[in-house]
Amino acid sequence: MNRLHELFSWQQQESLLFTRLDFWLFFVLVMAVFVLIHKRFLLRSIFLTGVSLFFYFKTSGNFVLLLGFMLLFNYLIGLAVQNKEGQKSGKIFLITGLTINLLGLFYFKYAYFFTDAFNAQFGTHFNVVNQFAVLGNELFGKGSFVEKILVPVGVSFFTFHNISYLVDISRKEIKAARNFFDYAFYVTYFPHLIAGPIVRARDFIPQIGQPYQLSKYEFSWALWMIAKGLLKKLVFADYIAVQFIDKVLDAPGSYPGFVSVLAMFGYSLQIYADFSGYTDMAIGVSKLMGFNLLENFNSPYKSLSVAEFWRRWHKSLSSWLRDYLYIPLGGNQKGTIGTGILTAVILGFLYFITGWIELWYTYGILLTLYLLLWRFWKAFRTFAVRDLNLLITMVVGGLWHGASQNFVIWGAMNGAALIMYNYWKRISPYEQSNSWLVRFWRILFTLSFITFTRIWFRLPESDQPLQFLEIIGTKFDLSFDVWWIVWNNFWVIFCLMILGYITHWLPQSWKDKTVLFFSKWPMPLQGFAFALAVFIMYQAVSDTFKAFVYFQF
């Protein structure tokens, strides 16, 4: 009875993570029922919506009620937007839907941050009150909800799903879902619910009415993706993080400076292995159920430039920001009133978190210069708007990850790099070069820049990145004795890091041939090899489990 209570109650330490045995038992049970009902499409949608909500409950507890409310709200708003197409009321419904979704996201992710910043700037003493928890405790009994505002797992992901659904209806790219459970299934589908990839309704909802199909190759490919995801997460992410990265980055002053540099390159490997490992497993699990999720990563550390990196990294977020922010702002063609509004909002945000009054003086000077160039230099009107829209998009991408000065700086640095590259590629003598030496240094330079910016992504406090860089500069000792001591302590980690990067850089054709070779094995042998590989991975790193990095976003 105690075990049953644990299975059907929320305990944070017992979340249904892809790395836990409980998830795979859950998935086997889901598949057993799914096989029996897969031809009855409505029943299938109802069932998978139910199990997805249970999955979210096991991950986030009573926040499942918030998810349920947002499902009903957005379903009704979607119908209203479609039914009032071409009418003023249709736009009002759309604006209402977008506003409620964004307010919900801001409330849960940014309420404490903005309140603290406001109090610090104006000497006030406002307190954040979780009105939802107060109401919930009145309805369901005291203690049912924690009164501190907690961030629901995956809130950024399912909010973006809802926004894209409403906007695509208004753009006539899709029709509103035929029934509530088709829409609810699309949003809550458990493989992508809490850490992506971000799925467009136009890509997923049409699959809901398609017959279940799974060829032997697709089955083999799905097993391969799941095993690859587990390997990335357990070995190249968790083990390296626990045994090396966290130790160094939590106390960089205790290590020589070059070790901190290696730890940051290790972090680049960790965050890729962690996030792409999750999406590999999500894509594999989904394929076994007959649904296709789009690729989210395409070997990003093979990139020759920052622009190529952002086409390969977290592709679903990059394309979402492009289609629902960058292009509506005018893209690289024109400016809109939104460009000016968002610029002022971002500067206001920076002022709140830094207290730098100079930001407004700087903004005034830049605005004056901008208007003069706009008036007297026609060519400026194109590239200036493009650059500003690109910078806004990347800063918003940084804010999507969290409300902090460091995330803004991280986004702004990547935005500035994209702008600089747009000019450099016009005059670069290396842009079209196929020389292996040129490709090598371009890949190394891009990886090094991305790793450098991740100092602001990894370290939470605003003063930590500069302190970290100062420590690296003052303690950068590469003498043989120091290097030998470091090697003896971390040689296993360094070997794993080298192996991780080498396997990442292998040609894609080699990887495809490996999957094809595996697909030709008899299914019993595939199952045995899969089970053996998973068993070995769990035995090797059984004490190093960490939550997926992107759960916090």
| Catalytic residue positions, numbered | 401
| Phi, psi angle pair for 113, to nearest 5° | -60, -50
Distances from the Cα of 230 to the Cα of 223, 268, 413, 448, angstroms:
11, 18, 32, 26
Q: CB–CB of 101/159 below 8 Å?
A: yes
| Three-class DSSP category at 142 | coil
Taking alpha carbons only, the member of 236, 321, 317, 221 closest to residue 530 is: 221
Evaluate whether 193 touches 52 at the Cβ level (below 8 Å): yes
Beta carbons within 10 angstroms of residue 140's beta carbon: 12
CA dist., res. 194 & res. 59, Å (int): 9
The C-alpha atoms of residue 318 and residue 394 are separated, in whole angstroms, by 9
* Distance in angstroms between the alpha carbons of the first and the last residue of the chain: 35
Query: What letter would DSSP give residue 298?
Result: S
* Residues 324, 326, 330, 335, CA torsion sign: positive
| CB of 301 closer than 8 Å to CB of 238 | no
What backbone torsions phi and psi does residue 130 show, to the nearest 5 degrees? Answer: -80, 90
Write the Ramachandran bin of 355: left for phi over 0, alpha for psi from -120 to 50, otherwise beta.
left
Cα 384 to Cα 333, 334, 376, 412, 428, distances in angstroms: 10, 9, 13, 16, 21
DSSP-assigned states of every residue in 467-531: HHHHHHHHT----HHHHHHHHHHHHHHHHHHHHHHHHHHS-HHHHHHHHHHHHTS-HHHHHHHHH
Query: What's the CA gap between 395 and 379, in Å, rounded?
Result: 25
Q: In 84-197, which ranges are continuous DSSP H helix?
A: 88-122, 131-140, 155-170, 180-188
Residues 6+ apart with CB under 8 A from 47: 33, 34, 37
Measured distance CA(349)–CA(230) in Å, rounded: 39
| 197 prior amide bond cis, ω within 30 | yes
> What's the CA gap between 148 and 140, in Å, rounded?
17
Question: What is the C-alpha to C-alpha distance for residues 232 and 274, in angstroms, rounded to an integer?
Answer: 6
Closest CA to 231 of 266, 281, 265, 194: 281
Dump the DSSP string for 229-260: HHHIIIIIIIIHIIIIIHHHHHSGGGS-HHHH
